[in-house]
């Protein structure tokens, strides 16, 4: 059976406490690996290794050499793409096509940020002085130190490299704490780092859980220079409290209850295809996914009928079977949560338009974390399934009458991560996009991302922005140098 170790100072190691935990398959619930749980001593060693790398060979590299190494990492990830795809599928159960896309994006994150850091400008100012000789001011970027990277399980490699890529591009070292549900690709990346010659200690991985385990040890470590986190809002708030001791900066991408807004003039086929993806891609386990769908009343019945047909035609099944568009949820524990909302929707009086239960699966797959893609209608906006993040393949569809009304309803929650607007009216698209309280707004599309653009949430969906130069603002300290002439 596969055994996954921590990766510290360029070497794979067992946990100092001698503890292991099991990793189960979402597809069957069978144990597929054991994982070495990091003790506090392991986190201490990982942070120390990062600090040593910053003082040693990594800190002495030129920008050009660092960029070359990041491009080498991306090339080696491409060479080992099938290994990463297989690991991602084993950990998450996602369809093979989705895993292939996610892993390609993981490699791309290193290339993009290598280009960004190579080309980012800084400031230069001339100033007058009392003696008339003047002075020059210029700014330089310096790494913040060892960055704690705490990752989610829904898109493990993509979201981990989305942070590791820019952190390393800026010259930092990292200690990564992957989710206990998805440990494999973080470990594989350690092999890649060694293969291309990234100095020991630059990239470290510690496995474990949150409170009383690797997550807490990392978030509270006094030698961590900054903490970046993607996950649910309560965990993000706890990390922010921990980071306050020492005034360490945090970047938090947290929960969402994202709206989709469909106007009556929308292209029906495009709106259905986009909404289907935004509700059910990766079994609804996407932070940017849509769980609240608002449809202009004149278009409502036609849209709901088409969405019902599309949802019922989705094929739920194992990753490599032809035509499969949706896999299982990440775990039995998460399935219990999602199914509790399926039951709650019915208790609150929802009309179950599609799904609402558990599909029958053959053989060993019967033990997996499967649920049906589900569409509800008929509930008020204050119903639990309309207000609370479920993070499963489900949405509630409700009608609206006016533009002002739907903006108010879309903005009524404490979340503000993303939104999708479907309309042929360009002026209205701009108005509504500006008015919706969200960090990312799509018009007539969904999940279309240029990695140079700012990404992050408003309200309780996050703090800070990632992407392009916006990532560099977090992963560097900007220093001003004033030279008297």
Among all residues, which ones are annotated catalytic? 253, 287
Q: Nearest 5°: phi and psi at 423?
A: -165, 155
User: CA-to-CA distance for 203 and 189, rounded, in angstroms?
Assistant: 9
Tokens 């609206």 belong to which residue? Answer: 400
Tokens 């929707």 belong to which residue? Answer: 345
Cβ atoms < 10 Å from Cβ of 137: 13
Beta bridge partners of 143: 476
- In sequence order, the 6+-apart residues with CB closer than 8 A to the CB of 313 are none
Tokens 């297989």 belong to which residue? Answer: 86
Q: Which of 452, 418, 446, 456 is nearest to 108 (CA)?
A: 452
User: CA-to-CA distance for 82 and 282, rounded, in angstroms?
Assistant: 19
Tokens 């997550």 belong to which residue? Answer: 215
**Tokens, residue 282:** 């990766």
Q: Residues 398-405: contacts with CB within 8 Å, 24+ apart?
A: 398/292, 398/293, 398/294, 398/295, 399/294, 399/295, 399/296, 399/297, 399/300, 400/294, 400/295, 400/296, 400/297, 401/296, 401/297, 403/428, 403/431, 403/432
How many Å is the maximal CA-CA distance in the chain?
A: 86
Buried b (16+ CB within 10 A) or exposed e, 248-273: bbbbbbbbbbbbbbbbeebeeeebbe
What one-character DSSP code corresponds to residue 467?
S
Buried b (16+ CB within 10 A) or exposed e, 369-395: bbbbbbbbbebeeebebbbebbbbbbb
User: CA-to-CA distance for 481 and 137, rounded, in angstroms?
Assistant: 6
Cβ atoms < 10 Å from Cβ of 223: 15
User: CA-to-CA distance for 177 and 22, rounded, in angstroms?
Assistant: 16
User: CA-to-CA distance for 227 and 174, rounded, in angstroms?
Assistant: 10
Q: Which of 167, 436, 397 is nearest to 294 (CA)?
A: 397
Q: Which of 394, 189, 182, 196 is nearest to 285 (CA)?
A: 394
Residues for the chain: how many in total?
Answer: 485
User: CA-to-CA distance for 185 and 462, rounded, in angstroms?
Assistant: 25
């Amino acid at each position: 059976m596969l055994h996954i170790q921590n990766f510290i100072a360029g070497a794979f190691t067992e946990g100092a406490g001698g503890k292991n935990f099991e990793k189960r398959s979402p597809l069957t619930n069978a144990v597929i690996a054991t994982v070495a749980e990091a003790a506090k001593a392991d986190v201490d060693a990982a942070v120390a290794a990062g600090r040593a790398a910053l003082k040693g060979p990594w800190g002495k590299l030129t920008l050009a050499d660092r960029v070359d190494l990041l491009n080498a990492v991306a090339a080696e990830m491409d060479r080992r793409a099938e290994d990463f795809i297989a690991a991602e599928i084993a950990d998450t159960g996602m369809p093979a096509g989705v895993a292939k896309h996610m892993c390609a994006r993981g490699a791309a994150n290193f290339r993009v940020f290598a280009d960004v850091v190579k080309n980012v400008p800084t400031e230069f100012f001339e100033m007058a002085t009392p003696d008339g000789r003047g002075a020059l001011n210029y700014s330089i970027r310096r790494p913040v130190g060892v960055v704690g990277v705490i990752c989610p399980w829904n898109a493990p490699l993509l979201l981990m490299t989305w942070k590791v890529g820019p952190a390393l591009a800026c010259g930092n070292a990292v200690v990564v704490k992957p989710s206990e549900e998805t440990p494999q690709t973080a470990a594989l990346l350690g092999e890649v780092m060694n293969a291309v010659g990234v100095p020991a200690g630059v990239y470290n991985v510690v496995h474990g859980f949150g409170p009383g385990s690797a997550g807490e040890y990392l978030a509270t470590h006094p030698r961590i220079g900054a903490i970046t986190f993607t996950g649910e809002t309560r965990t993000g708030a706890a990390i922010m409290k921990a980071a306050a001791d020492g005034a360490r900066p945090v970047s938090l991408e947290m929960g969402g209850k994202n709206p989709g807004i469909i106007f009556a003039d929308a292209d029906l086929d495009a709106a259905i295809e986009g909404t289907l993806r935004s509700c059910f891609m990766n079994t609804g386990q996407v932070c940017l996914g849509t769980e609240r769908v608002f449809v202009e009343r004149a278009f409502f019945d036609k849209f709901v009928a088409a969405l019902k047909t599309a949802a019922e035609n989705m094929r739920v099944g194992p990753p490599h079977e032809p035509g499969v568009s949706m896999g299982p949820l990440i775990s039995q524990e998460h399935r219990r949560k999602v199914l509790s909302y399926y039951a709650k929707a019915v208790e609150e009086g929802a009309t179950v338009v599609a799904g609402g239960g558990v599909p029958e699966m053959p053989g060993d797959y019967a033990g997996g974390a499967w649920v049906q893609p589900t569409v509800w209608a008929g509930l008020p906006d204050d119903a639990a399934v309309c207000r609370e993040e479920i993070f499963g393949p489900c949405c509630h569809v409700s009608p609206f009458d006016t533009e002002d009304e739907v903006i108010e309803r879309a903005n009524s929650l404490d979340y503000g991560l993303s939104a999708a607007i479907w309309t042929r009216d360009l002026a209205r698209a701009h108005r509504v996009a500006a008015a919706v309280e969200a960090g990312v707004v799509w018009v007539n599309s969904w999940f279309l991302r240029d990695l140079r653009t700012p990404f992050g949430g408003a309200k309780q969906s996050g703090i800070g922005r990632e992407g392009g130069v916006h990532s560099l603002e977090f992963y560097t300290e900007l220093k001003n140098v004033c030279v008297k002439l």
